[in-house]
Amino acid sequence: MSAIAQLPLAIQLPDDETFATFELGDNAELLDVVQQQQRGLVYLWGRQGVGKSHLLHALCAHTQQPAMYLPLGELKDSIQPQVLQGLEQYSLLCLDDIDAVLGDTQWCYELFALFNRVRDLNHGLLVVTAHNAPAALDVAVADVHSRLQWGLTLQVKPLNDEHKVAALQARAKNLGLSLSEDTAQFMVQRLGRDMRSLMRCLTKLDRASIAAKRRLTIPFVKDVLAI
């Protein structure tokens, strides 16, 4: 794993979000393309919970080059836009939820300058994520809107219910849990179809099963999650 540069607030990447734990669904071709990119801009878009952050975490875990990951949706109120200065030096730069800051003029000016520096150096890969395609974004500075359309734009497609069941079972196995198909199907049907929420519920169930020394059965899931 590469040494991930840390900001003062010490961003911690999840150990279990790698390419090996990414459920492909209809995204096999997208994954191949992303893994082969070495430089330039890749813009990944898709609704919440489709796995965009997982892909960025996996890219950072996989690379042997200096990398930086910034979850802008989480950090926008605690860091200043000037944090982007100098980040073009990283061989891999991942900006998650970039649409969270695109309505802010100061952020846009710093992003515009960063995109230009990345293009001028032409030695690293910049990967950004957003909920919508570039054309549908509300951006405070028009030049940033055009820069976001410079590179490769790819949609991360949502998993169907079958793939979500498989993803839950794979994550459970990674946690050392046994999750039956029936229980996983119950979780998908009753807890909504957002993968991020499903994985948070699985983490809660993991802790509860350890404390209670219980298997992940449907009655146990109902009890722990109050459903």
Pairing of strands 125-130, 92-96: parallel
Q: Quickly list H helices, 133-217.
A: 142-147, 161-174, 181-190, 195-212
CATH topology of domain 161-225: Helicase, Ruva Protein; domain 3 (1.10.8)
pLDDT digit of tens for each residue in the chain (227 aa)?
A: 333 344 444 577 888 888 988 899 999 999 999 999 989 999 999 998 899 999 999 999 999 999 999 999 998 888 999 999 999 999 999 999 999 999 999 999 999 999 999 999 988 999 999 999 999 999 999 999 999 998 899 999 999 999 999 999 988 988 889 999 999 999 999 987 788 889 889 999 999 999 998 999 999 999 999 98
Q: Helix, strand or coil for residue 175?
A: coil
Give per-residue burial for 127-149: e unless 16+ CB within 10 Å, then b. bbbbbeebeebebebeebbebbe
Rounded (10°) CA dihedral 117, 120, 126, 131: 70
Domains of the chain, by residue range, sit at 28-155, 161-225
Output the pTM of the full model.
0.85
- Superfamily holding 28-155: P-loop containing nucleotide triphosphate hydrolases (3.40.50.300)
**Number of C-alpha atoms within 13 angstroms, CB side, residue 211?**
8
